[in-house]
Amino acid sequence: MTNLLILQGLNGLQAGILLFLVAAGLTLVFGVMDVINLAHGAQYMVGTYLAAAFTGLTGSFLAGLALAVPATLIFGLAVEFLVIRRLYDRSHLDQVLVTFGLMLMLNEGVRMIWGAGPISVEMPGALSGSIPVWGKLRYPVYRLAILGAGLAVAVGLWWAINRTRTGMLLRAGATNRAMVSALGTDINRLFLLVFGAGAMLAGFAGAMMVPVVSAEPDMGDTVLILTFVVIVIGGIGSIRGAFVAALLVGLVDTLGRSFGPILLRSLLPPDAAGQAGRTLAPMLIYILMALILALRPAGLFPVKR
Amino acid sequence: MIGSDRAMLILLAVVAVLPPVLSALGEPFLTVILSRALIFATAALSLDLILGFGAMVSFGHAAYLGIGAYAAGILAANGLTGLEVQVPVALAAAGVFALVTGAISLRTSGVHFIMITLAFGQMAFFLMTSLSAYGGDDGQALAAPSTLFGIAVFDGAARFFYATLAVLALAWLGLRTITRSRFGRVLAGTREDPARMQAMGFSPFGYRLTAYVISGMVAALAGVLLANHAAYISPSYMSWARSGELIAMVALGGMGTLTGPVLGALAFVLAEEALAKLTTHWRLPFGAAVVLAVLFTRGGLMGALSRTRGRK
Amino acid sequence: MTPALSVQSLTKSFGALKVSDAITFDVAEGELHAIIGPNGAGKTTLIHQLSGSLAPDAGRIAMAGQDITRLSMPARARLGLARSFQITRILAGFTLLENVALAVQARSGSSFRFLRPVAREAALNDQAAEALVTVGLGQSARRIAGTLSHGEKRQLEIAIALAMRPKVLLLDEPLAGTGHAESARLSTLIAGLKGRLSIVLIEHDMEAVFALADRISVLVQGRVIATGTPPEIRANAGVRTAYLGEEEG
Ligand SMILES: Nc1ncnc2c1ncn2[C@@H]1O[C@H](COP(=O)(O)OP(=O)(O)OP(=O)(O)O)[C@@H](O)[C@H]1O
Ligand SMILES: [Mg+2]
C-alpha cells in the first residue's frame, strides 16, 4: 500500500510537471498578451510528432529531442507571426474561433503527413529499465528523467522570469500592460518571444513524452483541457499558480484514479464502489476546479490587473 | 429585426419544400443530412441566447446535446420510448446541470468563463464515458426510436425531417418571444454594459443564470432529436470540438440575430458534408475557412446579408 | 430631519495612497451638494463608494437613515440612488427609448417576464419618452445610443437616472466635454431638478458649481477641507490657497 502510494505519487508528480510545462506557456500568453489560445494543445502534439520524426531520421531519440525543441520554437514563432498577432485587438470570442480553426488544421495536418495511427519511439537504451527508489520499490528511469528535466525547466523559467530584464517586463506586462508599452519596449517583439517560448515549452513536454505515449492526432486536446483546468485553478497569468495547480491536478488525477475506488470500497459495497470509482475518478479534477472556483473565483493566485 | 424575421420565415418555407424535391431529384439521402442540419440549427439557436444576447461565451454547450441524447437513450434502453417522458426528463436533467454549473461559472467572466464552461463540458463528457451500462466510451445503439403517445412520429426520413423542422420552428418562436420580452431586454442590456445595468438596479447574475438554464434545456431538446437521428448515443456528441463548432455556427452565422445561427448551422453541416465527400482531410480546409472567415469578415452571414441589401 | 444622504468617516486606500480620508458630509433632502477639488483629489472614488461599485475600507453611508454601506450597487439603485458615470456608460446598441425604458422597467415590477413584448409596454415607453423630453432628447428617441454625440450621451445618462425616479442623484462631471450650448442646457436642467431630489454634483466648471450648489464641500487629497455655502467657500482662505487660488491664478 505504501509502495503503491509512492509509485502513484511519483506518477502524479511527473504528470503534474508535464502539465506545468504546457500550462506555463498558455498562462503567460494569456497574462501578457490577453490571448486565449486553443491551439496550444496542438503545439504539444506537434512536439511529439517532430520528436518522433527526427528520431526516425537520426536514429537517436536524444538527437531527435534536441532537434525537435528548436523546431517547435520556430513553429511557434511562425504561428504567432502568421495568425496570432492579428488577434491582439480582437475579442476573446474571435480568438476562440480562430485558434479553434487553427487547432482543427494542425490536428488534420499531422494526420495528413503522418497518418491516423500512433507513432511510437523506442526508449533510449540508457534510460530504459528501472532503479530502486524505496526499499524494494523500483521506478522507471525514464520517468524520473522526465521529472528531473521538467523540474530543471521550471527552475530555469523561475530564474528567467524573476532575474532577467525580459522576465521583469513580462511580470510587469501581466499586471499592467500600459506600463510595458510606456517603457518603450517593442511590444511586438516581446509578444513574439513569449508566444514562441510558450510553444517551445509545450513542444518540449510533448517531445519528452514520445517514448512513453507515442504520437497520435488529437492527443493535444486532452492536454489542452487539463491545462485549462490548471491555469484556471492557479489563477490565469500566474506562473506560480500554474506550478502549484499543475502538481495538484497531476496528483489528484493520478491518485484519484488508483485510490478513489479503494477508498470508496470502505464506504460502499464492492460493486457500487467499482462503478462509482470509475465514474468519479475522471471527474475528480473538474470537481476540484469547481470547488476551488466556488471559493476563489479568480483562482489560487489571482493576478491583479 | 423585421428583416431577420422575414429571412427566417423564407428559410423555413424553402427548407420545408425540399424533401419531396430532393426525392424527385433522386437524392433522398440529402433529406437525412438536412434533418441533421436542422437539429444543429436548434442547438445553435439555443447557444445564441447566451452567446449572442447575453455575451456569455460558453464552451461547454455540446454537453447539453449529450444530456438530451443520453436521456432519450437511457430511457429507451429501459423501455420508456415515449417523448412525453423523454423530453421532460431531458429538460430537467439539462436544467439541473445548467443551474449548478452555471451558478459556479457565472461567478467569473471573460476568459475564465470560457475555460470553466469548457471544463464542465468535459466533466459531463467523462461522466458519459464512464456509463459502462450504456456503452461507455463507444456509446451504444438507441434501443428504439422515440414515440409520442405511442405514435411513431420519427418513423421514416420525411417524418423525422418535419418533426425536426417543427422543433426548430418552435424553438425559434420561443426564443424570439423571450428575447423580446422584459427578460430579454435586461439580458441584452447586460451584454451591452453590465455596470450600467447595475446602476439601474438590475443584478445581472439571476438573468444570466436563467438564460443559461433555458439555453441548456433547448439544446437538450436538440439532443433528443440527435439520438434519434443517428439511432445511437455516444459521448462524442458532447466532445469539446462539438462545442467549438456550435460557437462557430453562431458567430459565423451572426450572433444575436436568431436567424443567423440557423443559417450558420445549415451552412456548417452542409459544408462539412460536401468537404467530407471531396477529401477525408476535410477538417483542414474547414479549419482554414473558419480562421479566414473570422479574420476577414464581420457580423457573420446575417451581417453579409444585410450589407448586400444596403442596411446597417 | 434625517438627511437624504449622510456620509461618515468614509475611508479608502489604494495601497499607500489614501484616496478617501475620513470623509464626512450630509446632503439634505432637496439639496444640491457640490464636491469640488483638484484632479486626483478622490472625487470619482467617492462616487464609486457612494454608488456601491467600490467598497470603502471604513466608514458609513446612510440613505434617509438606512445604512447602505454594505449594499450592492443594484440594491442601492432600487432604494433610489442613481448615478451618472464620469466616463459615460450607456447601452450603446439600444435606442435611446430602450435605454430609458429599461430604467423605468427596473423600478416597475418584475423583469422575469418572458412572454409579452417589452417594446409594446406603453407604460414603460411613455415614462421613458417623458424623461427624454425632459433632457431635450425627445426628438431622438428612436436613434441608436451609440451614434449620439458626447454631449447627447451625457443628456441620455441623466434621462436614464431621472427615469429611475431617484431620491438621491450622483452626477460625476456631467458638464465635462460638452459644448457651450449643451453645457448651458444641462445646467438649466440640473437647476430645474433642485429641490425635487437630493443631488451630489461633482464638477470642475466653477461658474456652474457656484451658481447651482446649495452647499459645497472641498475635497483635497482625499480630505474634506471645508464645507459651506458658495459665499462661505469663496471667502474661505484655506480653500483659496489649497484649490481655488491655483485654479483662478
Ligand atoms: N483602482 C485604482 N487603483 C489605484 N489607484 C487609483 C484607482 N482609482 C483611482 N486611483 C487613484 O486615486 C486618486 C483619486 O482618483 P479619482 O479618480 O477619485 O480622482 P478625481 O478626483 O475623480 O479626479 P478627476 O478630477 O481627474 O476626475 C488618483 O490619484 C488615482 O490615480
Ligand atoms: Mg473623477
pLDDT tens, residue by residue, A138-147: 888 888 888 9
CA A96/CA C109 separation, integer angstroms: 38
* Structural domain contains residue A268: no
Query: Residue B128 phi/psi, 5° resolution?
Result: -70, -40
Number of domains in chain A: 1
CB C158 within 8 A of CB C135: yes
When the pLDDT of each residue in chain C is averaged and rounded to a whole number, the result is 91
CA of C249 to the centre of ligand 2 (A): 22
Among C13, C14, C53, C204, the mutation site with the greatest number of ligand 1 atoms within 8 A of its Cβ is C14
Number of domains in chain B: 1
The whole-angstrom distance between C13's CA and the closest CA on chain B is: 22
- A225: cell is 483541457
The whole-angstrom distance between C234's CA and the closest CA on chain B is: 34
- Residue range(s) defining the domain that contains residue B153: 2-311
Give whole-number Cα distances, B3 to A125, B157, B257, B306, B307, in Å: 69, 32, 10, 8, 12
Partners of C82 on chain B (C-beta within 8 Å) are 199
What's the burial of A110, exposed, middle or buried (CB within 10 Å: 0-12/13-18/19+)?
buried
Torsion of CA B9, B225, B22, B174, to 10 degrees: 0
Residue type, C182: E
pTM of the predicted structure, to 2 decimals: 0.92
- Residue A281's pLDDT is what? 81
- Residue B311's pLDDT is what? 41
Side-chain half-sphere exposure of C158, counting CA atoms within 13 A:
28
CA C172/CA C43 separation, integer angstroms: 8
Considering only residues C163 and A134, tell me which one the structure prediction assigns the higher pLDDT. Answer: C163
What's the burial of A2, exposed, middle or buried (CB within 10 Å: 0-12/13-18/19+)?
exposed
What does B202-251 look like in DSSP terms, one character per residue? --HHHHHHHHHHHHHHHHHHHHHHHHHHHTEE-GGGG-HHHHHHHHHHHH
Nearest CB among A108, A111, A232 relative to B115 is that of A232
* Structural domain contains residue A112: yes
Report the neighbours of C using a cutoff of 3 or more CB pairs below 8 angstroms.
Answer: B
* Most A-contacting residue of B53, B100, B126, B132 (CB-CB within 10 A), to test interface: B126
When the pLDDT of each residue in chain A is averaged and rounded to a whole number, the result is 87
Which residue matches cell numbers 475635497?
C219
Listed by start position, the domains of chain C span: 1-80+166-249, 94-165
Distance of CA A278 to the CA centre of its chain: 25
Strand order across the beta sheet in which C17-27 lies? C17-27, C5-14, C58-63, C66-67
CA of C199 to the centre of ligand 1 (A): 21
Among C44, C206, C209, the mutation site with the greatest number of ligand 1 atoms within 8 A of its Cβ is C44
Spell out a b/e string for B100-122, using b for 16 or more CB atoms within 10 Å of the CB, else e: ebbebbbbbbebbbbbbbbbbbb
Name the H helices within A214-283.
219-234, 239-265, 270-280
Contact residues for A2 (Cβ-Cβ < 8 A; gap 6+): none
Closest CA to C155 of C108, C5, C50, C139: C139
CA of C188 to the centre of ligand 1 (A): 29
Considering only residues B312 and A246, tell me which one the structure prediction assigns the higher pLDDT. Answer: A246
Which residue matches cell numbers 493520478?
A254
Q: Do chains C and A touch (3 or more CB pairs under 8 A)?
A: no
DSSP code at position C26:
E
Measured on CA atoms in the order A50, A56, A60, A61, is the torsion positive or negative?
positive
Strands A130-134 and A137-140: antiparallel
Closest CA to A71 of A202, A223, A217, A212: A202
Name the H helices within C88-225.
96-107, 122-135, 150-163, 180-193, 206-212
Contact residues for C116 (Cβ-Cβ < 8 A; gap 6+): B181, B182
Supply the residue whose CA is at minimum distance from atom 17 of ligand 1: C44
Kindly report the CATH number assigned to the domain that includes residue B6: 1.10.3470
Supply the residue whose CA is at minimum distance from atom 7 of ligand 1: C14
CA C182/CA C151 separation, integer angstroms: 6
CB C80 within 8 A of CB C103: no
Q: Do B248 and A298 touch (CB under 8 A)?
A: no
- pLDDT bracket for residue A103 (50, 70, 90): very high
Supply the residue whose CA is at minimum distance from atom 29 of ligand 1: C40
- Residue range(s) defining the domain that contains residue A186: 2-216
Residue type, B275: L
Between positions 178 and 217 of B, the ones with CB within 8 A of A are none
Q: Do chains A and B touch (3 or more CB pairs under 8 A)?
A: yes
- Residue A120's pLDDT is what? 85
- Does C245 have pLDDT greater than 60? no
CB C63 within 8 A of CB C76: yes
Other Cβ atoms less than 10 A from the Cβ of B203: the count is 18
Nearest CB among B108, B119, B130 relative to A228 is that of B119
CA B269/CA B105 separation, integer angstroms: 29
Contact residues for C29 (Cβ-Cβ < 8 A; gap 6+): C1, C3, C4, C198
Side-chain half-sphere exposure of B129, counting CA atoms within 13 A:
16
Strands C32-36 and C215-220: parallel
Q: Is B173 an interface residue toward C (CB < 8 Å)?
A: no
- Does C150 have pLDDT greater than 90? no
* Structural domain contains residue A303: no
- Does C249 have pLDDT greater than 70? no
What's the burial of C189, exposed, middle or buried (CB within 10 Å: 0-12/13-18/19+)?
middle
Q: Do A279 and B110 touch (CB under 8 A)?
A: no
CA of C137 to the centre of ligand 2 (A): 26
| pLDDT (mean) for A245-267 | 86
Nearest CB among B116, B240, B291 relative to A102 is that of B291
Q: Is B184 an interface residue toward C (CB < 8 Å)?
A: yes
- Does C247 have pLDDT greater than 60? no
CB B117 within 8 A of CB B62: no
Degrees (nearest 5) of the Cα angle A33, A38, A44? 100
Q: Greatest CA separation found in chain C?
A: 63
Architecture of domain C1-80+166-249: 3-Layer(aba) Sandwich (3.40)
Supply the residue whose CA is at minimum distance from atom 24 of ligand 1: C39
Residue type, C40: G
Q: Do B116 and A289 touch (CB under 8 A)?
A: yes
Other Cβ atoms less than 10 A from the Cβ of B312: the count is 9
- pLDDT bracket for residue A177 (50, 70, 90): low
Q: Do chains B and C touch (3 or more CB pairs under 8 A)?
A: yes
CA B121/CA B113 separation, integer angstroms: 12
Which residue matches cell numbers 438536412?
B34
- Residue C248's pLDDT is what? 44
Partners of B180 on chain C (C-beta within 8 Å) are 117-119
- Residue A183's pLDDT is what? 67
Which residue matches cell numbers 508535464?
A18
The helix (run of H) or strand (run of E) holding residue C220 is strand C215-220
Between positions 40 and 99 of B, the ones with CB within 8 A of A are 51, 57, 59
Closest CA to A38 of B126, B271, B287, B65: B287
* Structural domain contains residue A275: no
**Residues lying with their CB under 5 A of ligand 2, a single-atom ion:** C 43-44, 86
Which ligand 1 atom is nearest residue C48's CA? 18
- Does A156 have pLDDT greater than 50? yes
**Stretches in chain B below the pLDDT threshold 70:** 1-2, 299-300, 306-312
pLDDT tens for C15-69 read 889 999 999 999 999 999 999 999 999 999 999 999 999 999 999 999 999 999 9
